[in-house]
Structure 1
Amino acid sequence: MARFDLTDFEWSVIEPLLPTKVRGVKRVDDRRVLNGIFWRLRTGAPWADIPARYGPHTTCVNRFNRWRRAGHWQRILEAVSAAYEGDVQMIDSSSIRVHQHAANGSKKGDPVAWVARAAA
C-alpha cells in the first residue's frame, strides 16, 4: 500500500457507492483504479504517467470521466465527508508561470472581452 492509497475504512465507505454493472471484459479492481486516479490528481502528472501498479492509465482516465458524468464523485465525496463527520479538508490551487516578458505585455483584442472573462 502506497502512502496515500485508500485505507480499509475509506474503501468500506466508497465501495457500496460504485457501479456494479459489469460489461464485456473483466474489470480492473476498482480500489486499484481509484488509487491510480487519486495518485494522478494529487501529483498533477499526465494520465499516461500513472504507475503500472494502479492498472492501465486508460482505465483510470476512462473511469474517472465516466464516473464524473454519472455523478459518482459527488456521492463519494459526500459519503467520505459524512464518515469523517465533516472533518475533511481540501485545498485547491493553481499556479501558472508566465514568461518574464509576458507579464507587462499589452493585451491584444477587445478590452471588453477581458473584463467579461474576468467577471465570469
Structure 2
Amino acid sequence: MVAGLAAQHGEKRTVMIDATYLKVHRTASSLGAKKGGGRLIGRTKGGMNTKLHAVCDSLGRPLNLFVTAGQVGDCIGSRALCGSLPDGGRLLGDRGYDADWFREALKGKWIRACIPGRKQRKTSVKYDKRRNRIEILFGRLKDWRRIATRYDRCPKVFLSAIALAVNHATQRKSMGPDPIATRSARRCLRRSRGLPLPRPPTESCA
C-alpha cells in the first residue's frame, strides 16, 4: 500500500533509510511467544521498545516499512529492506548503516551509498543534510498516540496501524495545507499583534 502511494509522487533516484524506537506500553510488553511467533519487542536502555525501519523517497513518502525488536541494530534490519531499494540512484543513511557488506550490496544494485563513515573512515559524504525528510516522516507518524506508544501485542496489528497512519499523512500532504489549521494560525497571528479578529457575517432577515 505504501509503495503504491509513493509511486504517485516523487522520484526514486534518491531514497533514504532510517529507523526509530517506538515505546511499548506495559500492557503489551510481554516477551513471551504466542503460537510460535515472537511479539517483536526488545529490551533497551530506555525500556521495552519496538524499532520501526523505513525507506522513503526524496519527498519523504515511505516505500517500505517493517518492525523488529528494539535491540536489533539499524544495519541488521536493513537486510530486509535491500530487496525493495530501486536500482540506481543514491541512498542516504546515517552512521548506523556504515558496514562493508551493506555498501557492497548497494554497489551490486548500482546505488551510490551516501552514508557518513564511522570515525575510523575519515571520509566526507555529500547529500547528508537532505536526510531530514525521513526524520520528518517519523515525527508525523509519532503524532499518532497509537504509533508513538505501542499498545498492540500482535506485531501485524501494530504494523497495520502504522500503515493507516502513513496513508493518512500521505494523503493530507498531497492535498495541501488544512484550511481549518491555516485559519486558526491566522487568528493566532492577529491576536498576537493586537489586531481585531474578523467577525463572521451576520444574516439579515429580508
- With the shorter chain as reference, the TM-score category is under 0.3
Between Structure 1 and Structure 2, whose CA radius of gyration is higher?
A: 2
Larger fraction in helix: 1
